[in-house]
Amino acid sequence: MLFPAAPVVSPVPQAEAPRDCPLCPRLVRFREECRAEHPAWWNSPVPAFGDPDAWLAVVGMAPGKQGANRTGRPFTGDFAGELLYATLLKFGLATGTYRADPSDDIRLDGALILNAVKCLPPQNKPEPAEIATCRSYFEAALAQLPKVRVLVALGAIAHAAAARALGLRPSQAKFGHGSEAVAPDGRILLGTYHSSRYNQNTGRLTAPMFEDVFAQAMTHRDG
Ligand code: SF4
């Protein structure tokens, strides 16, 4: 399966990074290595995916190597995406069928997915400077999404990045599964353990636990 072209139309096109964004040297080097190794993969900053009129933003940390970095669509093609898309479908936040392929017909309805860091980091670990640098894109995306009232951050790193972008100090937004914080502008930040293979295989996160956080988000849908 080849994914050489732009995989999705971003709901926030004015907030997307150029395909060769040069701002994080370590990630640029890794990107070039991946392009040499897997020339048919996306291997570029991953655009947001979903509904431009979303009220809910799912926030991931960074693209997975075999997932978004390969396919070009957030959480698409890796283990973590299976539970995420199943949950979005279950709560009526998506329609269609998820087939782990950007050419499938799944569409988000009232939701979108953003990553705190848009490029694949080595060992799946972005450095603090990279998170800080990419925050400009994250904040630009949020600025173009005035209808987003609730953010669900997957994992502590995404949560910290989202909290910062929302103007929350760490003491005001402590991460936990089911944690909830209110930003100065009234937006609500929820935390969930990441839907990673490790978390699911170790039982740290189960599907019902994940769904509980989305049920919590749904209670805030209408303000
Ligand atoms: S992580 Fe963000 S800021 Fe850094 S190179 Fe990629 S798109 Fe640019």
Q: Which atom of ligand 1 is nearest to the CA of 121?
A: 1
Q: Residue 222: its pLDDT value, please?
A: 82
Residue nearest atom 2 in ligand 1 by C-alpha distance: 134
> Ligand 1 atom closest to Cα of 45?
7
Task: Give nearest CA residue, ligand 1 atom 6.
Answer: 119
CA 171 to ligand 1 center in whole angstroms: 27
Q: 129: pLDDT confidence band, cut at 50, 70 and 90?
A: very high
Pick the residue whose CA is nearest to atom 4 on ligand 1. 24
User: What is the value of pTM for the model shown?
Assistant: 0.96
Q: Which positions ≥6 away from 97 have C-beta within 8 Å?
A: 104, 105, 106
Q: Which of 26, 28, 119, 157 to mutate to test the pocket of ligand 1 (most atoms within 8 A of CB)?
A: 119
Distance 22 CA to ligand 1 centre (A): 7
pLDDT one-digit tens code per residue, 33-74: 999 999 999 999 999 999 999 999 999 999 999 999 999 999
For the Cβ of 134 lying below 6 angstroms from any atom of ligand 1, the answer is: yes
pLDDT of residue 200: 97
Average pLDDT over the chain, rounded to an integer? 95
Q: What is the dihedral of CA 163, 20, 30, 131, to 10 degrees?
A: -10
Ligand 1 pocket residue status of 189, Cβ below 6 Å: no
Q: What is the pLDDT of residues 152-174, one digit of tens each?
A: 999 999 999 999 999 999 999 99
CA 117–ligand 1 middle distance (angstroms): 7
Q: Thinking of the domain 22-218, which architecture would CATH place it in?
A: 3-Layer(aba) Sandwich (3.40)
Pocket test for ligand 1, best of 12, 16, 26, 27 (most atoms within 8 A of CB): 27
Using CB atoms within 10 Å of the CB of residue 209, give its burial: 0 to 12 exposed, 13 to 18 middle, 19+ buried.
Answer: middle
